[in-house]
Amino acid sequence: MTEETFVRELERRADVVHGAPLTFEAVRSKAHGIRRRRRTAVAGAVAAVVAAAILVPTVLTGGTNRSDGPEPAPAIPTVPGASVLHDGVVTRPDGSTVPVDVDNANVTNFGVLTDGRVVVALQEPYVVRVYAGNGSIRAEYPVQANVVVMSADDTVAAWVGEDYRTSVLRSGAAELVTMDGPPSPGGESPGSIDAVLDADHVLVGDHSTTSEVVRPQGKQELTTSEPLRVTDVSPDGDLWAVQYDGGPDSQEGCAGLYDPETATMLARNCEAARLTFSPDGKHLLSLRGDNNMYGEGTILDLDLQPVGSFASSGQGDVISRAAWADATHVLVARTDWTDSTWSLVRVGLGWDDPEVVVPEQAGGNPEGVAEFVLSD
């Protein structure tokens, strides 16, 4: 399938949604008050988005500038869902594209800010690189951990910088803000950024437990009913998707749905992992597996009961990446590790009615590359 056809196919699947403002009043020991802004989609496949352009200044503080002069960043398309990085092009949910000079085999993950900038975590060099809305390189930041964590509304990107501190890049802002770093799991290893609530409130931990809230004013201990790691936050901010120790018989631990206001675990499922909320907050996606390949994918309701699922046949068919396309569909990058073939499909909540976005084609070994990287 040509890139043009790929773009048109994603354009055809853009859905209509309505937005609500994001606010965040306080994060205390039980971490309440998060509100999540949902973006507005244009009716139909693609319509013109009218918005004020945000100027991206010449230098982003703390990085290596690679461009001359300011450049207006195009308004980001407002259709919710994951963007797709494939063959040097980022395709947004509405079908618009940004060329980026990267090889998928060198990409850990990426996100797209609402001002149009694309933030990519790379392995060689070990950096976070920021691209303008037209694909030109704007800045590059050495890091201790090459993983980008996006806020729920894509207005903030965060990572662990070279100095072990929390680096925060806000949509529309030129200056990279640094705050206290996450706790180290031991020695000189960097801790983890687990969730970005907004530019002033970042949940951090030691890769196994989310334990602190980092703010410009400093750190604050996070009190929860039991040790857990936050993997996602619901659209209205009322619930957290978490992972916790499921005991010696659970290889990946267990997944839970946690209410930070009451410090209560509302639902548990030890057959689920790495939960992420749908854009409307009514369902969650679970992926189980390792080594860039998942043998199980499940869509769950808010009781963490399965609605639809995928299980590998054991003959080589696995999931490389999966992410929400919209409130009722999931984009799935499928691969066969026996012959390194790849395809991109879109499935419903029942993991049924698969629609082919990119038909099966030859690619790299899935142990070393994800031919389709889906944005966080």
Report whether 332 contacts 319 (CB < 8 A). Answer: yes
Mean pLDDT of 296-312: 97
What residues make up the domain containing 268? Answer: 235-376
The tokens describing 49, both together, are 């988005």
Examine the fold and report which residue of 223, 247, 269 is the final residue of a domain before the chain moves on: 223
Q: Which residue has the higher pLDDT, 34 or 85?
A: 85
Examine the fold and report which residue of 194, 223, 252 is the final residue of a domain before the chain moves on: 223
Is the pLDDT at 1 greater than 60? The verdict is no
Residue 136 within any structural domain of the chain? yes
Identify whether residues 209 and 316 lie together within a single domain. no
Identify whether residues 128 and 258 lie together within a single domain. no
Q: Confidence band (pLDDT; 50, 70, 90) for 23?
A: very low
Mean pLDDT of 229-258: 87
Res 152: pLDDT: 86
Identify whether residues 331 and 367 lie together within a single domain. yes
The runs of H, that is alpha helices, within the chain are 3-12
Is the pLDDT at 85 greater than 90? The verdict is yes
Tell me the C-alpha distance between 214 and 182, whole Å: 8
Report whether 306 contacts 299 (CB < 8 A). Answer: yes
* CA 303, chain centre distance (Å): 23
Identify whether residues 267 and 122 lie together within a single domain. no
pTM for this model (two decimals) = 0.81
CA distances from 215 to 148, 152, 173, 248 (A): 18, 17, 17, 35
Write the single-letter amino acid at 323: A
Query: How many domains in the chain?
Result: 2
Torsion of CA 131, 193, 162, 167, to 10 degrees: 60
Residue 246 within any structural domain of the chain? yes
Residue 219 within any structural domain of the chain? yes
Res 50: pLDDT: 23
Q: Confidence band (pLDDT; 50, 70, 90) for 47?
A: very low
Is the pLDDT at 42 greater than 60? The verdict is no
Identify whether residues 183 and 259 lie together within a single domain. no
The tokens describing 265, both together, are 């675990």
CATH number at residue 357: 2.130.10.10
